Structure formats: structure tokens, C-alpha cells
A and B are shown apart, each in its own frame.
Chain A
């Protein structure tokens, strides 16, 4: 569980792209606070503080609005196209005793014996959708792969979740598995005798139909 983080936010006056860009240039991130049937407030906060909180795995933060503390969940982050900077943040008001649904990172622990034996580790699920109390969101869910042999699979139903945390994913969904190593499939240098040569150009949709129609007319 991540430690409680307090973020100092200020109310944002004015709207629009130009103002938001100006704020970002000054090292701030524009955001919005909503939820619980209360008024939606536009806010602004220092980018460094937000990045630091996210890097430390904070999900529920205390927003300090000039002395008044309010608990909020970081609901959404918008990134710039290159993924360098946070462009906008959404905060949703939450109560400490409220049950919420969030995505939690799955963390693989240990070395699978199947991998040392030449198998291939495949992890189709990187995040688990869980329902838990707002104040007890696990930072990550550890998956022990120390006993995973070739052909073994860990499903969502096999995961050991902390108390009070319920998985919302399909229980039969595969979290991690060790499969047989795939042989390098290289294209054959020479075509097998009798085999049809592979065409160098793709089939053009509608061309065969048009040719058939022309033949019928003739």
C-alpha cells in the first residue's frame, strides 16, 4: 500500500488551450476535481510534485486547497504524444471507506524454473482490475513464478490477493505462463519442388471480378 501523499493544488481561473500551455511552460499541470455530486473544480498543481507522487505509486492523494484537505483518486492522466510530460490530470473525490475499482500492476517475483530449462515466459496480463477500499489500494500484486515449469499457467483465480481486495477480471484469464520455446521460423531460401511460387504482389480486391465480367461479355 502506497503512503499517503499530500498535493498542494490551487483553483484554476480561466479556461482554454493558451492558458493551459502557459501553465505547463511554468512547470504546472492543469487538472480537474470532480465527483460525489459536488461542484467540478478546475485546479492547477506543480508538475514535479505530481510526477514524484506517481513515481512513488500514489493512487489516492490528499489535495490541499488552501488548508482544506480533500481525499481524491488520480482517475486519469493525459500524456504528451512522446510520453515525456503529463498534460492533464483528473482527480475523483473519494471517501476513505468507499470501495472503488482500480487497475493494479502485477509484479512477477522469482525466476521460473521453466525459463531456465529453455521455456519462454509469456505475460498477457500486466494489470489487474480490483475492487478495494480507497485507502487500501495495493501498490502492486506480487505473483510468485518460482515454481512455474514449462506448460504451467497462473490464472487470475490462482492469485493471492490482500485482504479486502477482489479481482474483477475473468477468473480464467491467464496472468503468466511458460511456453515451449519457439523455433526461429526463417523463410526458406529455395522453394520446394512442386510448390506454388509465392506471389510478390498482393491480391487486388475487385480485379478478379472485373476480369470475369469482361470474359462473360466477350
Chain B
């Protein structure tokens, strides 16, 4: 089942805009390699789940996978062939707001070649251009 908040203060949220680059969550923190988004937008809970399943199948119990984003935002939609008006639609799905530079997934406990293969497969499931990043030099 895709990720979703357990409790929320409001069922529906305004759309907002995704501007700028990420200044938080933009480097590898937990694993050794990460998948960094190069574009901004909404990442649906289904896409996160698809990435998780792909990575889990590749890992087969080896290594560790970290999901760095969570779908906090509800996205509403109105049914087809509905007349305009009558208020805001009902929540359709949940999405994570992703800025350019955010690390979406991380893997650890595996060699670089395997991590590259794993995250390349995950990248296919993402709606953004992504790239592989490794840990920054520790200073």
C-alpha cells in the first residue's frame, strides 16, 4: 500500500508552487549512494512505492534502502464530465513535494556498481531526471 499520513490537520491542501533548489535533504545522509532529483515537482505515493518495490527486488535482502521523501500533500481531483463549480474536488492521491537537488532514495551496504544498477532501475520509475550521488567528503 502506498505511503500516506496517519493523521492530518486538513484533508485538502492548496497546490502551491515548486520553486528553487533544495537546501535541505540534498545530500546523502544514511546510506552510501543516493538518487538525486534534478527537477522539481510532485512525487506521488504510487511512484515512491514503485521505486521501493523495484529497489527491494534488486536488493533481495542484501544492503539497505532508505526512502528520504514522504507524501505529505493531498492532491484533489474532480471526476470526469462534471460541471464546473460545486467546490473543490476530493483527495485523489498523496504526493511528496520535491525540489531540484533532493535525495529521494539511498542505498547502503553494497558495492558502487550494484548501487548504480539498483538506483538506475529506480530512476526509471521516477517522474524526474535523476542522477546518482555519493557521500560528500567529510570535513
Interface residues of A (CB under 8 A from B): 54-55, 57, 59, 74-77, 79, 81-83, 103-105, 115, 118, 120-123, 126-127, 181-184, 187, 198, 201-206
A55: chain B residues within 8 A (beta carbon): 137
Q: A74-B139, A81-B101 known; A205 and B36 CB under 8 Å? A: no
With a cutoff of 8 Å between Cβ atoms, the chain B residues found around residue A126 in the complex are 32, 135, 138
Q: Does B116 contact A (CB under 8 A)?
A: no
Are the C-beta atoms of A203 and B6 separated by less than 8 Å? yes
Question: What's the count of A-B pairs with C-beta under 8 Å?
Answer: 87
- Known contacts A81-B21, A81-B100; is A120 also within 8 Å of B26 by CB? no
In the complex the two chains form, is B10's CB within 8 Å of A204's CB?
A: yes
Residue of A nearest to B53 (CB): A186
The residue in chain A whose Cβ has the minimal distance to the Cβ of B135 is A126
A59 touches B139 (CB 8 A): yes
* Interfacial chain A residues near B108, Cβ < 8 Å: 121-123
Most buried by A among B8, B63, B109, B110: B109
Distance A77 CA – B27 CA, assembled complex (angstroms): 13
CB distance from B26 to the nearest CB of A (A): 5
> Contacts A81-B22, A120-B61 known; A205 to B136 CB distance under 8 Å?
no
Given contacts A74-B139, A202-B6, A205-B9, 20 further A-B contacts (CB under 8 A): A79-B27, A81-B21, A81-B23, A82-B38, A120-B64, A121-B63, A121-B109, A121-B110, A122-B64, A123-B32, A123-B108, A127-B138, A181-B62, A183-B61, A184-B56, A202-B4, A202-B7, A204-B7, A204-B8, A206-B9
Is chain B's interface secondary structure helix, strand, loop, or mixed overall? loop
Asked whether B101 lies within 8 Å of A120 as measured between CB atoms, the reply is no
* Complex Cα spacing A191 to B106, Å: 31
Task: Assess whether B1 is interfacial by the CB under 8 Å rule.
Answer: yes
Looking at the assembled complex, report how far the CB atom of A208 sits from the nearest CB atom of chain B, in whole angstroms. Answer: 11
Contact call A203/B7, Cβ cutoff below 8 A: yes
Contacts known (A121-B109, A202-B4, A202-B5); A83 close to B138, Cβ less than 8 A: no
Question: Which of A75, A83, A183, A201 touches B11 (beta carbons < 8 Å)?
Answer: A201
B26 touches A81 (CB 8 A): yes
In the complex, residue of chain A having the shortest beta-carbon distance to the beta carbon of B99 = A81
A126 to B36, CA, bound (A): 20
Asked whether A181 lies within 8 Å of B61 as measured between CB atoms, the reply is: yes
> Within the assembled complex, what's the spacing in Å between the Cα atoms of A146 and B106?
25
Q: Show 9 A/B contacts (Cβ-Cβ < 8 Å), sorted by A.
A: A54-B139, A81-B26, A82-B26, A83-B26, A83-B136, A123-B109, A182-B61, A202-B4, A205-B8
Report the separation of the CA atoms of residues A55 and B62 in the bound assembly, to the nearest whole angstrom: 29
In the assembled complex, B133 has its CB within 8 A of some CB on chain A: yes
User: Taking the complex as formed, is B127 at the interface, i.e. its CB lies under 8 A from any CB of chain A?
Assistant: no
Chain B 74-108, CB-CB to A under 8 Å as 1, else 0, gives 00000000000000000100000000110000001
> B61 near A205 (CB under 8 angstroms)?
no
Q: Are B62 and A83 in contact (CB under 8 A)?
A: no
Chain A residues with Cβ below 8 Å from B36 are 82-83
